[in-house]
Amino acid sequence: MAFRNSIKSQQDNVEHLIMSVNKRIENLKTQYNLYFTGELRVPPESEREEIEKIVRDILYTAVKSPRSNLLIQNLASRFSLYNNMWKKKLNEVESGLVTIKKKRTAYLEEPKEEKKPVETLDISLNREDSFDTFYDKYNTLLKKQPGTEKQKEKVINSLKAKLISKNLIDAKVSLAVDKGKLKLRIKK
C-alpha cells in the first residue's frame, strides 16, 4: 500500500512539474516573440537550454503512468516544435536573411523625412525631344554634368525599353532622387 502511495505521489509530482514547464515554455515563447520584434536585445538562449534539459530529464527519468506518459510526450513535442522554429529564425537572423529592427528609445525623435523634389515629364516615343528633356532633368536631379553621347543614348534607350515593355507610347514619368539614387515612376 505504501509503495502505491509513493508511486501516486511521484506521478502527481511529475504532473506538477509538467504544468510548471508548460508555463515556462509559454513565458519563453513570449520572450522570443519580444526578441524577434526588437523589444529584447539578446535572445533568451539560457532559458531555452535550461527548459530543453528539463524536458529531456522528464522524458528519460520520470515515473510514467499512461496519463503522465501522454502529458510528457505532449510537452516534449510542443517544446520541440517551438525549439525548432526559434533555432530556424535565429539561423536566418545570423545568416542575414532576416533583420531585426531594434526599437529606439522613447526619448529620441524620429528624423523627419525631407520632401524629395519630384519632376514629372510627358514622354512620347513619337517625340524625340521629350527624351532630351528627360535626360536634362536626369542630370539636374543627380547633379551630374552632361555625359558623353554614348551615356546619354544608354539612359534614353533604357527608358524607351521600359516604355515598350509596358506597351506605352505616351506616358508621364516622375523623377525623384532618394538616398542618392534616381527613382523613376512611369504612369499612363
Quick: pLDDT tens for 37-77.
888 888 999 999 999 999 999 888 766 788 888 888 999 99
Q: Judge if 70 and 130 occupy the same domain.
A: no
Q: Per-residue confidence at 103, pLDDT binned at 50, 70, 90?
A: low
Number of Cβ atoms within 10 Å of the Cβ of 68: 20
Co-location of 11 and 90 in the same domain: yes
Residue 10 near residue 63, CB atoms below 8 Å: yes
Spatial separation of the C-alpha atoms in residues 60 and 75, rounded to whole Å: 13
Taking only the tens place, the pLDDT of each residue in 145-177 is 666 777 878 888 887 888 887 787 888 888 777
Full domain range(s) for residue 160: 118-187
**89 and 12: one domain?**
yes
C-alpha dist (Å) from residue 165 to 4, 121, 178, 182, 186: 81, 19, 24, 20, 11
Residue 108 lies inside a defined structural domain of this protein? no
Same domain, 88 and 154: no
Last residue of a domain, one of 53, 80, 95: 95
Domains identified in the chain, total number: 2
Q: Residue 109 domain-assigned?
A: no
